[in-house]
Structures are given as structure tokens and as C-alpha cells.
Amino acid sequence: MTLKKDKGLCIRATDYSESSQVLTFFTRAGGKIGVIAKGSRRPKSSFSGAIEVCTVGDMVFSLKDNDKLGTLTEFNPIFFGLEIRKKLFALNCGFFAAELLNLFTKEHDPHPALFDDAVLFLHKLDENPDNKVLPFLILFEFSLLENTGSQPACGSCANCKRKFDADWKQFYFSPSASGFICRDCEAAFTDKKIMTFECACCLNQPSKVLNAQTAALVAVEEILIDYITAVLERRPKMADMVLGLIKKL
């Protein structure tokens, strides 16, 4: 039995027996893994208490090649997200990010750049008031889609390949077409949604969300959640909670 060291972000936590937890971590070097933390819910355990979703830490664990579940032997938190837990929208965004990481990644399939972006997003949730975090949620979702090979086509019409620009005059997004649809092609796509030019520009160039109006950000997030639902063929559990809270920001 060899011990492995990695950085990990806890994306799922389930109580197990009287005092233990079964945890899913998205690790930096090893991708998604499942581990059991024996005795972690005892106050005086070596883990210093139960491990919560959205905590990031240095892990030591053992995992044999064909084991479904490894054993966590050490966990030293480097990010607790204490401020996230005091804010309703930030907390739900953190849970949503954890759910998306779980749904979009496979076990033992590492994405170090996505790990770094996820940790960066948690820091943004921790540091910012709730009314400032929506752009960072959108940037995280783009990173997730890009790193897992599910990026939507927002540079040209997904149907006729005409390059996106202001001359389109009308702008549509179709989840089934996985991207933009121009005015000439829209009639064939029943699931298309019309969007403003500002919304289309944010999808075309995600860094623009940092200077976008709230209405455009809300529209971008609605489109991304519909798109993510189409990619996964099911709606993430946290999606409607997040959309409901966005409207109250």
C-alpha cells in the first residue's frame, strides 16, 4: 500500500457509520477520487472535525489501482471558505460548482487547470459580496466547459458557419445546436433563445462579463444553465436554486 499526496477540493460529503465520512475530492494531479475518512466526525480526530464541501486542503491517502474507495489518512485544510458559508448566494454557488465538477469529470481523469480555476472561484466567492460574484460563476462555468471538452460554439453560426458580428442584427443561442444561430438559420431550431448583442458578446468573449450589465449577466447564466442541462441530459440539482437567487441579487 503506497501513500499518495495531492491537493484536493471536497465536492461531496456523506456521513458514514457513527463517526466517519465518505468523501469525493476533485484532486489537482489525480482528478476525481472517492475516499473514506475514518473517525473524521469525532471532535478529536486527526482531521480536526468533519470535512465540508468546498474545503480545499493537502491530502495524504492510499488508493489501490482497482479500489473504488481509498482511505484518507491526513487532511490539512488550506482553504475553509468560512466567509462563503455566511452568504446565501455564495454558498449556493459553491455547492453548484461542486455539483458541476462532480457531473463533468470522471474518476482518475485529472484537469489541473480546472482545479486551479475552481479554487480561484472559491476565493472570489469568499472575498466578494453576493452582488459581485455572478461574473465569476460564469467564468468558472466557461473554464469547466472548456477543460472538459464541452465548450459551446460562440464564434460563428453553429449551422451555416457565418462568422459572428454586429451585422447579424438578431442573435440566437440553441442548446441543441451547441452554440450561436444566425437570423437566416433560426427557424430550424425550436429550442433557440433570442439574446441581446451584449449577451452574445459575453458568450463570444467571456472576459467581457467583468464589465457587463447585470441584465446581460443574468441572460448569459440562463443560457449556460440550459446548455449545461443539454450537455448532461439532465438539469443539475442546484440549477434552479441558483437561477432563483440571481433574480434577487
Residues found near Zn ion in the complex (CB under 5 A): 157, 159-160, 182, 185
Q: For residues 148 and 109, is the Cβ–Cβ distance under 8 A?
A: no
**DSSP code per residue over 184-215:** TTGGG-TT-EEE-HHHHHHHHSGGGGGG--HH
Which CB sits closer to Zn ion, 53 or 157? 157
Which CB sits closer to Zn ion, 6 or 186? 186
For the CB of residue 200, give the shortest distance to Zn ion in the complex, in Å: 13
Which CB sits closer to Zn ion, 122 or 158? 158
Task: Kindly list the strands in the beta sheet with 193-195, ordered across the sheet, starting from the edge strand earlier in the chain.
Answer: 179-181, 171-174, 193-195
User: Rounded to the nearest 5°, which phi and psi values hold at 165?
Assistant: -160, 175
For the CB of residue 162, give the shortest distance to Zn ion in the complex, in Å: 5
For the CB of residue 186, give the shortest distance to Zn ion in the complex, in Å: 8
User: Rounded to the nearest 5°, which phi and psi values hold at 65?
Assistant: -50, -45
Of the CA atoms within 13 Å of residue 15, those in its CB half-sphere come to 6
Which CB sits closer to Zn ion, 143 or 159? 159
For the CB of residue 230, give the shortest distance to Zn ion in the complex, in Å: 19
